[in-house]
Amino acid sequence: MSTQHALLISLIEKPSSGYDLARRFDKSIGYFWHATHQQIYRELGRMAELGWIAADETAREATTQPTTQPAAQSTDNAAPEGNAVEKKNRKKVYGVLPAGRQELVRWVLSPGAGLDQREEILVKLRADAAIGPLGLDQEMLRLIALHEERLALYRNIERKDFAGTLDRRQKIQHALLMRGIQFQENWVKWGRELLPLLEKADKA
């Protein structure tokens, strides 16, 4: 399971609440691993039970040197001594415990599945091949637009975040972005070429 591990990474990059994570999964790491807020809260709960992470009031920290430091995170939420209040609803900031870090390393180095694609449109195209032209060009146009939009987004990120010289961390993150860019470029080009084949005959 990778959702937990994606969350661990996000938490290492920056200790966060479930809500923060949910928003972050709508961008950055969510671009290559999607998760909804319900999933996130559930996995946070499980990982807390497993001792991989902990909410701030409980034994926060222990890892030696997180690569990124949150720097100016409003320090006002201290009050460690007398809390005991248990306000039901207040923000819980989770941090990664040593066990969580270990688990992450273990998982990163364990062999993964690789190549098991699941793209709906490919199945639809196969159907279109089998049972006559159904007018898939409309759907295809829609998807091309989506991929172009995403491509533009990635290119903007590249321009903004990856100019100048990069350290190792940035180089890898840039490579991840490039993967996305190349994938989208490739997809759009392929889709455009395919388009003429999909028109329904009676359109003429």
Partner DNA sequence: CTGTGCATGTAAGGAGTTACATGATTCG
Partner DNA sequence: CGAATCATGTAACTCCTTACATGCACAG
Interaction residues for its own copies, span 163-202 (CB under 8 A):
168-173, 175-176, 178-180, 182-183, 186, 190, 193-194, 197
Q: What is the CA angle 83-81-51, rounded to 5? A: 75
Contact 28, 176 (CB under 8 A): no
CA distance 204 to 193: 19
Q: Collapsing DSSP states into helix, strand and coil, what is residue 143?
A: helix
- Dihedral, CA atoms, 155, 161, 166, 169, nearest 10 degrees? -100
The amino acid at 13: E
Point out which span in 9-17, 48-56, 77-85, 155-163 binds its own copies (CB under 8 A): 9-17
60 in contact with DNA (CB under 7 A): no
Whole-number minimum distance, CB 186 to its own copies, in Å?
5
24, 92, 155, 174: residue in contact with DNA (rule CB under 7 A): 92
80 in contact with its own copies (CB under 8 A): no
Strand partners, 16: 94
Kindly write out the interface string for residues 108-147 of this chain, putting x where it contacts DNA by CB under 7 A and - elsewhere: --------x-------------------------------
- Residues found near DNA in the complex (CB under 7 A): 1-3, 17-20, 22, 34-39, 41-42, 44-45, 70, 73, 87-92, 116
